[in-house]
Structure 1
Amino acid sequence: MNQKVNQYQQLIGSYTGKLLRDHFGKGPESISVSMGGHFVTMYLRNFLTPSERVLLEQDHEMIIHQMREKLTQMMIPEITSYIQLVTGVKPSEFYYDWALHNKSGMLVGFVPEGFEEAPEVNENYEGKQRLEQEINKISRLVQREPDEIYSCELNARTILIIRKGILVRIEKELIRLGHGELLKGVKRNLEKTYMHNNNNFDEILNRQVLDSFADWNYSQDKSVMMLVTQSK
């Protein structure tokens, strides 16, 4: 990877860490930023505030997600603008999710024109076909099989999965009636239950999956998943 991309990643990670501290009062212990193809991802580790820890101990996970949803929505325009300032290209979409039990989180930005200096993603990684079949199976259990699925390996530890066309009619009606946030909470719990308790991922990829995340863009009927694994 060239020096310029390394510099971009360090600047984006440092800026995002400061932004999180400003908004939450505490930042993550570390942020791993990766750029490749059309994507920029951030993997946050050891990120849980003292007040969130108390809420988590009292089983108020939904309250933490609601607070983080509002704070993160406030931060996304600032992160987007900073990425454009640093790299010259602007992400058109951002996805985010939290694995509170692991005190970790993800941020994923999509850049339609791609990052000029960033390396290409690996679209032919080990286990790709079987992993996509497994994701389709999980999708069928929770909602329906997506119309389209795409996956790639961004680096030795990060796999992205993009699904399009997954909402069923009752979900679309709930979104229309203004219940999108509630729906996201339900979908997150269901899908991640299947993902976290899925021993097939490790066997398919031939390495341990340490973290899994999922988020949705309702207006585009699109979802992004991110798997963080042990290094190959």
Structure 2
Amino acid sequence: MEKRSIQSEMSSYVGKQLRDHFGKGPSSVFVSIEGAFLTIYVKDFLAPMERVLVGQENDKKVEETRDLLMKELIPDIKASFRAIAGIHLDTLYYDWSLSNRTGVIIGLIEDGEREDGASASYKNQEKVHEEVARMSWKAEKTPLSIQSFLLNERTLLVERTGILVAIEKELINSGYEQPLKLSKRKLEKRLLHIPTLEKVLEKKVEDAFLDWDFNKDRSYLVLILKP
């Protein structure tokens, strides 16, 4: 099956699964498969009960509930990509912008080739890395490494490794992974200077998403750009 057909079929599948699990599906689902990465961007995704909680400024409760539902949904998504497209996904990450009613799911494709040459070809890449390093330094510490991949005209993915400090590792070992992740996500989004990124990328940033793999001391930042 060719890539465009896979992306179309999996968009329909993911939309249905989200609707079945959350009670309301997104109005649009965009699946992109590029090199070693899969991204799923959803728009207009907020269930009626979630809308009430967000209106009451209880975003944390929505995020905690979505975490529980995603734990059930992720194995189904991985199995479907394997069965339909022969794509084996190693790990899935996700984040939401409740105010924009959007979200992103990031998948790492097993044995997928990282197009390192292509990733270095976009304009002002080093300046993007400098802004991400600045944000990371303010939040915890400068990452050991930063790589970025312009997957398509709308999706920039930034991978950081080696960002956890000692107190964060201790909190993870003590079972506080979820509250740490929610707190880090809120902090880093506040510290990320979007106007700087828009200036160096010469595009408007519509959404920013963050997730972590604490076991591997790795983080992914996805910027959704306006073409």
Matching residue's letter, 1:40: L
Contact 2:194 2:205 (8 Å CA) reproduced: no
Which residue of structure 2 lines up, in the alignment, with residue 211 of structure 1? 207
TM-score by length of 1: 0.94
Alpha-carbon deviation of 1:194? 2.0
Which among 17, 33, 36 is matched to residue 35 of structure 1? 33
Deviations 1:6-29 (A, max 9, x none): 001011111111100110010001
Shift of 1:112: 3.0
Cα contact 2:139–2:191 (8 A) shared by 1: no
The structure 1 residue matched to 2:222, chosen from 200, 222, 226, is: 226
Q: Which amino acid aligns with 1:200?
A: T
Counterpart of 2:67 in structure 1 is 69
Deviation string for 1:126-181 (max 9, x for gaps)?
A: 12110011000000010111111110100001000011111000000000000000
Asked whether the equivalents of residues 119 and 148 of structure 2 are also in contact (C-alpha less than 8 Å), the reply is no
Structure 2 gaps, min length 5: none
Check whether the contact 2:38–2:107 (CA below 8 A) recurs between aligned residues: yes
Structure 2 distance, partners of 1:50, 1:110, is: 31
Equivalent residues in 2 for 1:160-179, closer than 5 Å: 160-179=157-176
1:85 corresponds to 2:83: yes
Choose from 50, 53, 58 the match for 1:52.
Answer: 50
The one of 183, 200, 203 aligned to 2:196: 200
SS in 2 for 1:199: helix
Q: CA deviation at 1:50?
A: 0.6
Q: Distance in 1 between matches of 2:124 and 2:171?
A: 36
Map of 1:159 onto structure 2 = 156
Unpaired stretches in structure 1, ≥5 consecutive residues: none
Aligned to 1:111: 109
The one-letter amino acid of 2:122's match is: Y
How many equivalent pairs are there?
225
Q: For residues 55 and 86 of structure 2, what CA distance do their matches in structure 1 show? A: 43
Kindly provide the CA deviation profile for residues 71-104 of structure 1, in whole angstroms up to 9, marking residues without a partner as x.
Answer: 0111011001111112213110111000111000
Q: Which amino acid aligns with 1:227?
A: L
Which whole-Å CA distance do the structure 2 matches of 1:52 and 1:121 have between them? Answer: 39
Q: Take 1:227 and 1:54, find their aligned partners in 2: how far apart are those partners?
A: 27
User: Does the aligned pair in 2 maintain the 1:188–1:214 contact within 8 Å?
Assistant: yes
Q: What is the RMSD of the two structures over their aligned residues, measured on CA atoms?
A: 1.5
Instruction: Give the 3-state SS of the residue equivalent to 2:94 in structure 1.
Output: strand
Aligned partner (choices 188, 191, 207) of residue 188 of structure 2 = 191
Q: How many angstroms apart in 1 are the aligned matches of 2:110 and 2:124?
A: 26
Q: Aligned-pair distance for 1:121? A: 5.2
Q: Percent identity?
A: 37
Name the SS for the 2:30 alignment partner. strand
